[in-house]
Amino acid sequence: MEALKNLLNRLSSELILGALVAVLSILAAVSGYQGGMADSKQTEHNVLGQKDLTNANSEYLTANQMIVYDYQLFDGYYTATTPELEEYYQSQYSEPLQAAIAANPDDIFTEAYYDEMYAVANEQFASADAQFELAGKYNERGDALQLVLMISALAVAFAAWASLLEAGSSVRVVFAILSMVGLVYTIVLYVQVPGAPA
């Protein structure tokens, strides 16, 4: 029993408590800094995603207008009364429509035509999705680091309170043990933090 008491007193010594405060403070600072960086990256990728989404919507609407215009031109070609009018309408066709006519004059408004018309918009939508996915990954990393910061700060508080109490005090020993448990838990949590997305 005396040996256990001596061990507990050594575990709550000034040296151990000082080391706990130092290590836990470093862990708190590192996780706080990395969490701030993750939050910054999350915001950056959310902004880029919103920008790409806005551009994608704009390109989509533009493609819709071009498709309607192609339909009007194609109808105008068939209702044209002179060769000059026919030539005028044909010269105004979009490049995808001209390519579709060259590929198959009997079936021009095909899926390939629409794919080409919406290609830029679809690329922008895909880019927006990729940015939002990255933002989500940085959010997960930031949340995990915030938990590390909270536990390490709590463990520092236990070590600090223990150092203020009288040597040999049972409360000092309990606070020192809680601080050590907090250190171990902090390290476990830090190891499990998702890595920064590539």
- Amino acid identity for residue 39 in this structure: D
For the cut 90, the answer to whether the pLDDT of residue 196 exceeds it is no
14: nearest Cα among 160, 189, 171: 160
**DSSP H helix total and E strand total for the chain:** 7, 0
Q: Work out the percent of the chain whose per-residue pLDDT is above 90.
A: 62
For the cut 80, the answer to whether the pLDDT of residue 20 exceeds it is yes
pLDDT bracket for residue 17 (50, 70, 90): confident
Q: List the domain range (segments joined by +) for residue 33.
A: 2-191
pLDDT computed for residue 2 by the predictor: 64
Decide if 93 is inside a domain. Answer: yes
- In the chain, the number of structural domains is 1
pLDDT computed for residue 9 by the predictor: 61
Decide if 196 is inside a domain. Answer: no
120: nearest Cα among 182, 38, 63: 63
What's the pTM? 0.79
State the helix-helix crossing angle for 14-79 and 170-191, rounded to 10 degrees: 30
Decide if 110 is inside a domain. Answer: yes
For the cut 80, the answer to whether the pLDDT of residue 28 exceeds it is yes
Decide if 31 is inside a domain. Answer: yes
